[in-house]
Amino acid sequence: MQWRARPWRYFARIGFLSLPLVFVSAFLVVPLVLTVIISFWERVGMKFRPAFSLASYLTVIEGARLKVLERSLIVAVEATALALLIAYPIAYFLARKASAYAARIVLVLFTIPFLINYIIRNVAWTSLLGRNGTINTVLMTMGLTDGPVDWLLYSDFAVLIGLISSYMPFMVFPLVLSIGAIDRQYLEASALLGASPFTTFCRILLPLSLPGIFAAIIFGFVGAFGESAVPIIMGGVGYELVGNTITSSMDVLNYPLAAALSSIVVMIMLVLMLSWYLIFDMRAFLGKILEWRS
């Protein structure tokens, strides 16, 4: 038995390996389980007590919050799809066309948004997109419009701009890793066998980069779905996503309702994660990352 030969080393290794498990359990699994449990609790006056009540879920289904949830899903899907359309060509260029040096510089530049406070970042957009903002001023000065274009800010368009600019950089990284890890010989073989670049893209590049695409989708969707600052700053008249409605229900101490909304969000995220896990071999994807880095 291994532990008898070197017990100290064996248990140290077990202890070390269990650290991430303990961390994830304590700071992720336990709070999430508690959230789900509280979502079934009953409200009594201003307090709540343990029970198995579906009242909070019924409130979500029957009230305006279902509309908010629906809108959050649609907006998150739209923002993720658009961001993917922008991120994929960028990632392809960085992984396949740019020099390693240039790619590194561009990737570092993509980390800059993470270093800027998200509120400042979104407020900066309002200065650009507002009625008296830079873009409208330029449009009017050039005579392209008679008056300011109102829908640039406080609109669906503005929310999409805010979400894409916030989460698209997150999506570039897994895509670069995924595309960069594809063996160049497959693409060359495809070309030698007479496939057009489009056919090569559809039948070789795209399928092989799917794990990266899915990872990018998760990165983008999770962020966009839970976003609360962008709709507040750029969304206009009461533009609310699910993150905002959770906060709002907590304002009146309706914790079971907030927990029910959070549980629904978590469940949607879990379905996404689970499908990623079931469809793609995550270890193979991580292996590709290591290969690409070496």
Q: Interface with another protein by CB under 8 A: which residues?
A: 45-47, 59, 63-65, 67-68, 71, 123, 126-127, 130-133, 150, 153-154, 232-233, 236-240, 245, 247-254
How near is the Cβ of 123 to another protein at its closest, in Å?
A: 7
Tell me which residue of 166, 185, 47 sits closest to 112, measured CA to CA: 166
| Residue 63 CB, nearest approach to another protein (Å) | 6
Report phi then psi at 47, rounded to 5: -105, 180
Kind and range of the H or E run holding 49: strand 47-49
Contacts of residue 128, defined as CB under 8 A and 6 or more positions apart, other chains included, come to 134, 135
CB of 40 to another protein, least distance (A): 19
Smallest distance from another protein to CB 238, Å: 3
Distances (CA, A) of 47 to 77, 247, 253, 254, 287: 36, 17, 8, 9, 50
- Report which residue type is found at 41: W
Q: Which is nearer to another protein, 139 or 250 (CB)?
A: 250
Cβ–Cβ < 8 Å for 164, 84: no
Secondary structure E strands in 2-46: 42-44
Residue among 41 and 214 whose Cβ is closer to another protein: 41
220 near 173, Cβ under 8 Å? Answer: no
Q: Within 10 Å of residue 95's Cβ, how many Cβ atoms?
A: 21
Taking the least distance from each CB to another protein, the nearer of 121 and 288 is 121
Rg (CA), the chain: 24
C-beta closer to another protein: residue 194 or 238: 238
Rounded to whole angstroms, how far apart are CA atoms 227 and 240? 10
Q: Which is nearer to another protein, 63 or 207 (CB)?
A: 63
Name the minimum Å distance from CB 22 to another protein.
23
How far is Cα 273 from Cα 279, in angstroms, rounded to an integer? 10
- For the bound state, the minimum distance from the C-beta of residue 26 to another protein, rounded and expressed in Å, comes to 17
Tokens 């064996």 belong to residue: 10
Q: Which is nearer to another protein, 43 or 96 (CB)?
A: 43
Smallest gap from residue 153 Cβ to another protein (A): 8
| Sequence-distant (≥ 6) Cβ neighbours of residue 210 within 8 angstroms | 178, 280
State which residue, 176 or 233, has the beta carbon closest to another protein. Answer: 233
